[in-house]
Amino acid sequence: MNLVLGVLALNAAFLAVGYALVGPARLSASWAGVAFLVGAGSIGTLVFFATIVGLRASLTVAALAAAVLVIGGLVFWRRVPAEAEAGGGRTLDPLTAAAFGVVGAVCVLGVVGGFRSTPWLDDVWGIWLPKGLALWHHGLDARLFAPNGEYVTFGVPDYPLWWSVVTSLDVQTMGDLDVRVVCAQLALLTVAFVGAVARLLWDCVRPPVLAGSLLLLVLSPELWRQVQGGVADLPLAIYLALALLAGSRWLQTREGFLLALAVLALVVALQIKTEAPAEVASLVLVGALFARRFLWSALALAAAVPWLAWRSAHDVPSRAELDFTRVERVPDALRAVAEHLFDPTEWLVLVPLAIVLALIARQPKVLLVPGALLAVVLVAYWIDRDEINYVLATSAYRVIDPVVLSAAVLIPLLAESFFQQRQALREDRALIGEP
């Protein structure tokens, strides 16, 4: 099976499982992005957990995980009353329709570019994919992760392995080793995220605002550069931003599905990179400022326990070093990170626009979300063992992905809030006869 057919076959399975989990009320094509992220996240997480208990990250294990998820989804939704799908059809003016068309066209080009790209980041062939292949052929062998004097161990052995598992499944489905599967998979995840944002905001944000917000995201050069690099920071950012978006919509509607989606996205994020527990905890704490009940989402942190327990049991070293004496590293880290966050040649104006909208919409408290994620990044650089200039040069442009994508999903919500406030003000003035 060639590259395209192999990757698409696996991702079709992700989509099918996702639809089984999101329920019969969301079987329309508009929910494809959400369903895809749910399916990919759930299968990758279960297969990763299976390797922790001694199984291999094979297609057989993935098929069993998919079967369990589908059966579980079907049984659950049979017991839960069917819901009416939120957000019906909306009339689009020609300019808005054209903007959505551009978003779709850019996403198609992004997928084509992903399938045609060889990842330029050496972490792909030095860390992520080799670990996935090892999980397939040998299972989670501690001798490859803990220094033992007998085998060559992997670099950064403390990283969780969801991204390695998913890309390994791509290779297996394809039937041949081709590193382009990493970029192809990342392109599909990115496009699914764009679709998920559009669907989750369709019934609460006016179409021109939504179209403009999505255009800003998909036209950001750095987004597709990172897709073609195969970086794991982008999947982490996608699931954190999905959790933020679902949690924000839950605050508005109190719909149980949205809270469950937020928790699932947090669970998946925890399986991708080592900074995820701190980032998840920061999102939960900020969310609790808006609704105390959101603290229940902290239960998602329990999903980090299996990997942490396995690492502890096998003496797998951690890169984190709790040394807070090197405070002089923080200004350099802040300067380097800020350069990437505000560089219009990378992420256009996503971050500054989110800041401006939060202020003019009189909702500065929402800036605590990207602020908390930024604080996690700075602390990580503070306690990192490596020379600061080296780690900043090699990672500052990508570890900010959660900050950027959190800003990207807040922009349409803040813009809609601003326009609603203006409309309410005009109506009030009309009632009292003011011009």
Three-state SS letters, 319-368: CCCCCCCCCCHHHHHHHHHHHHHCCHHHHCCHHHHHHHHHHHCCCHHHHH
Which residue carries 């059809």 as its tokens? 89
C-alpha closest to that of 229 among 351, 109, 343, 398? 398
pLDDT at 363: 94
Please tell me what DSSP assigns to residue 91.
Answer: -
CB 297 within 8 A of CB 287: yes
In order, the DSSP letters of 208-232 are HHHHHHHHHHHT-HHHHHHHTTT-T
pLDDT at 89: 64
Provide the 3-class DSSP secondary structure of residue 89.
coil
**196-230 tens-digit pLDDT:** 999 999 999 999 999 999 999 999 999 999 999 99
**26 or 317, greater pLDDT:** 26
**182-192 tens-digit pLDDT:** 999 999 999 99
pLDDT at 52: 97
Q: CA 57, CA 138: separation in Å to the nearest integer?
A: 9
Mean pLDDT of the 394-416 span: 97
**254-280 tens-digit pLDDT:** 999 999 999 999 999 999 999 999 999
C-alpha closest to that of 186 among 217, 215, 229? 229
pLDDT at 424: 79
Mean pLDDT computed over every residue of the chain? 93
Q: CA 378, CA 382: separation in Å to the nearest integer?
A: 6
Q: CA 266, CA 281: separation in Å to the nearest integer?
A: 9
**124-169 tens-digit pLDDT:** 988 999 999 999 999 999 999 888 777 778 888 999 999 999 999 9
**2-14 tens-digit pLDDT:** 889 999 999 999 9
**273-313 tens-digit pLDDT:** 999 999 999 999 999 999 989 999 999 999 999 999 999 99
Residue 160 to residues 13, 52, 77, 286, Cα–Cα distance (Å): 23, 11, 31, 24
Domain boundaries, the chain: 3-78+100-313
Q: pTM here?
A: 0.96
pLDDT at 383: 86
**222-263 tens-digit pLDDT:** 999 999 999 999 999 999 999 999 999 999 999 999 999 999
Q: Is the pLDDT of residue 359 over 80?
A: yes
Cβ partners under 8 Å of residue 418, min gap 6? 357, 360, 361
Q: CA 57, CA 229: separation in Å to the nearest integer?
A: 24
pLDDT at 428: 63
Q: CA 346, CA 343: separation in Å to the nearest integer?
A: 6
Q: CA 268, CA 44: separation in Å to the nearest integer?
A: 8
Q: What angle do CA 169, 170, 174 make, to 5 degrees?
A: 115
Provide the 3-class DSSP secondary structure of residue 90.
coil
Q: Is the pLDDT of residue 101 over 90?
A: yes
pLDDT at 317: 84
pLDDT at 54: 94
**32-60 tens-digit pLDDT:** 999 999 999 999 999 999 999 999 999 99
Q: CA 143, CA 418: separation in Å to the nearest integer?
A: 56
C-alpha closest to that of 355 among 369, 344, 343, 337? 369
| Helix (H), strand (E) at residue 166 | helix 162-174
Q: Is the pLDDT of residue 435 over 70?
A: no
pLDDT at 325: 74
The helix, strand and coil proportions of the chain, stated in percent and rounded to the nearest 5, come to 75, 0, 25
